[in-house]
Structures are given as C-alpha cells and as structure tokens.
Amino acid sequence: MEFEFVPEFPEGPMLVIIVAVSVWSLLWKAVALYKAGTLRHKGWFTALFFINTLGILEILYVAVFSKPDRRLVRRPG
C-alpha cells in the first residue's frame, strides 16, 4: 500500500488569513530592520532578520528597545 500526501492549496477564509498575517509580519519586519539599521544595532538587526515571530519581536523592538540613549544626546550650550 502506497500513500501519497498531496497538500491542498488553502482557499477562502484560510487564504485571506494567511495573506493578512504575512503582510502584517512583513511590514513590521521592514520597519524594525530599518530602525535597527539606522541606529546601527547589529545584534538586533541580525536577530530580527533571522527570527520570525509574526511581528511580536519586531513590535517590541520598535516600541521599547529602539529608543535612543539619552546619555549620548548632546545638549545645546
């Protein structure tokens, strides 16, 4: 007896969910990678590039960890 597994392509609501989650994740990843690159956070950039968390790690980086260090900001005067 031979079994052949042929996966079915998702249709209807499942396809919409997959596309929505993919776009959501891609947008957050793009924003987070841009911020990590401009702030020269090499470790964060590498982690964000390779780890896929459906936007959770990316949102945390943008909201919490990408804030500039206040000690490095020059004050006028």
Alpha-carbon distance of 38 to 71, in angstroms, equals: 18
Question: pLDDT truncated to tens, each residue of the chain (77 aa)?
Answer: 688 888 888 889 999 999 999 999 999 999 999 999 999 999 999 999 999 888 899 999 999 988 866 665 565 65
Q: Please state the domain extents for the chain.
A: 15-61
Residue with tokens 């841009």: 34
pLDDT of 66 reads 87
Length of the chain: 77
Pick from 25, 47, 51, 54: nearest CA to 66: 47
Alpha-carbon distance of 28 to 32, in angstroms, equals: 6
